[in-house]
Amino acid sequence: MILPAVQGALRAVSLTFRRALGLPAQLDTADRRVLEQVILPAFAARRTRQRLLFVGCAAYTQHYEQIFAAHEYWTIDPVASRRRYGSRHHIIDGLQNLGDHAEAEFFDVIVCNGVLGWGLNLPGQVDAAFTACHRHLRTGGELVLGWNDVAPRNDVSPNDVSALKLFRAAIFAPLETTRFAVAGSNRHIFDFFVKV
């Protein structure tokens, strides 16, 4: 428990220094490669202008705004200091409070990766957060949920979140599945949903 936390803190410090020095600050892990080389580019390649919300910001996600330069890219994080990693359209708040900042049916895509079990932890809060995702996605809009199927990150499992049952599991064409499990010790899973 302590070792991963220390490793995570050291990694964050290292990435912050790299960014400050103008060096690339990116993570090179299997799940990150799936996110950055498959999932995000697939949304970015869409011809119609998408309004996206990326949930939870870090030094290594700061460059995602460039991927979506042709779209309207929003970010949200409750920690005020993380604004520096957020986009031009950044919200300082928890996902569960999205309704204080956006109208219903506002977004085309919401990507919530590495947040469930990483701060979004309490069952009621998790349910409120995904209820908000459903409300603020347009009909046909898509939710990507990336999470680690290891304790304690999976203390609240998506399988048990009633708000996620508001959505339909949807095949994400580039990966040809509704649920993509990345091989590796952190058992990262990407779930794909659509608002019907």
Ligand X SMILES: C[S@@+](CC[C@H](N)C(=O)[O-])C[C@H]1O[C@@H](n2cnc3c(N)ncnc32)[C@H](O)[C@@H]1O
Note the residues at the interface with ligand X (CB under 6 A): 55-58, 61, 76-79, 82, 94-96, 113-115, 118-120, 129
| Residue 23 amino acid letter | L
Nearer to ligand X (CB atom), residue 35 or residue 170: 35
Minimal distance, residue 47 CB to ligand X, in Å: 25
**Closer residue to ligand X, CB minimum distance, 76 or 143:** 76
The alpha carbon dihedral of 76, 80, 85, 87 has a sign of: positive
In the complex, least distance from residue 102 CB atom to ligand X, rounded to whole angstroms: 13
| CA atoms within 13 Å, Cβ hemisphere of 44 | 16
Q: Which is nearer to ligand X, 64 or 167 (CB)?
A: 64
Element counts in the chain: helices (H) and strands (E): 5, 8
Q: Can you say whether the dihedral through the CA atoms of 17, 25, 59, 149 is positive or negative?
A: negative
HSE-up (13 A, CA, CB side) for residue 174: 15
Which lies closer to ligand X via its Cβ, residue 56 or residue 141? 56
Shortest distance in whole angstroms from residue 177 CB to ligand X: 20
For residue 105, the minimal CB distance to ligand X (Å) is 20
